[in-house]
Amino acid sequence: MIRKLLLIAFLCLLPIEILKADAASEILTESLLSKSHWKFSKVSCPIGCSEHTKTFLKKYVDTELEISPQQFKAPFLDQCSGATRIEIKDTPVSSMLDEINKSSASKRKITALNLGLQAKSISSAIVFCKDEHTEFPIARFISIEPKRLLMLFEEQSIIEFR
């Protein structure tokens, strides 16, 4: 009987907890993202990327990125036709660098210096798009700072937004 009551109490409280978690995530996103509109400032290829990728990205310098818990728009990426979700986490810089460097065949490695990172830990984020069948990532930010966003693009190119 006690078990049943506990289970009912748990099930009743569960949606509230989920709502709290979603709300908390939104507040976290809003506080970390000091503004919703950012300007494509520059692109870098610390370990080298193709001429095609460099030329492609340079066309978008000075264009605008819109990011908020409800909206994500970047002219050089797919626009999400479903719901957008942003997952932010704190990551040690060394783990994030390991992750990026595992994505490359190059012997050259991306370093904290390449990215202008001085802290030992950073806030990174994945932007997800949810359609009727699947939730999948559409963008990955490797560092969220008050005045700068760093996005990982193809061939380990890095886009800086200001």
Partner 1 sequence: MNIGAIMATTESTVIINGNGIATKANEVTNLMSGKPYVYGGKNTNGFDCSGFVSYVLGQLYPHSGNSYSTTANGLMTDCGFTAIDAQDKQPGDLIFFLNAANVATHVGIVYDTDHWIGSQTSTGVAKVKFTNPYWSSKPQKFRRIVNTSTTAMNLGRGRFVEGAFA
Choose, by CB under 8 A, the member of 13, 136, 148, 162 that binds partner 1: 136
Q: Is 145 in the site for partner 1 (CB under 8 A)?
A: no
Query: Which residues lie across from 87 on neighbouring strands?
Result: 126
Choose, by CB under 8 A, the member of 93, 117, 139, 150 that binds partner 1: 139
Instruction: Give 34-64 as a DSSP string.
Output: S-SEEEEEEEE-TT---HHHHHHHHTTTT-E
* Amino acid at position 103, single letter: S
* Amino acid at position 134, single letter: T
Give, as ranges, the residues between 13 and 72 that touch partner 1 (CB under 8 A).
Answer: 50-53, 56
Binding-residue total with partner 1 (CB under 8 A): 33
Q: How far is the CB of 6 from partner 1 (least distance, A)?
A: 32
Q: How far is the CB of 129 from partner 1 (least distance, A)?
A: 8
CB-nearer residue toward partner 1: 30 or 131: 131
Torsion angle defined by CA atoms of residues 36, 34, 142 and 95, in that order, rounded to the nearest 10 degrees: -150
Decide: helix, strand or coil at residue 22. Answer: helix
CB-nearer residue toward partner 1: 66 or 154: 154
Give, as ranges, the residues between 86 and 115 that touch partner 1 (CB under 8 A).
Answer: 87, 99, 102-105
Query: Which residues lie across from 135 on neighbouring strands?
Result: 130
Q: Give the phi and the psi of residue 96 in degrees, each rounded to 5.
A: -65, -40
* Amino acid at position 127, single letter: V
Sign of CA dihedral 80, 96, 37, 29: positive
Choose, by CB under 8 A, the member of 29, 84, 143, 156 that binds partner 1: 156
- Given the rule CB under 8 A, which residues bind partner 1? 50-53, 56, 75-78, 87, 99, 102-105, 126, 128-129, 131, 133-140, 151-156
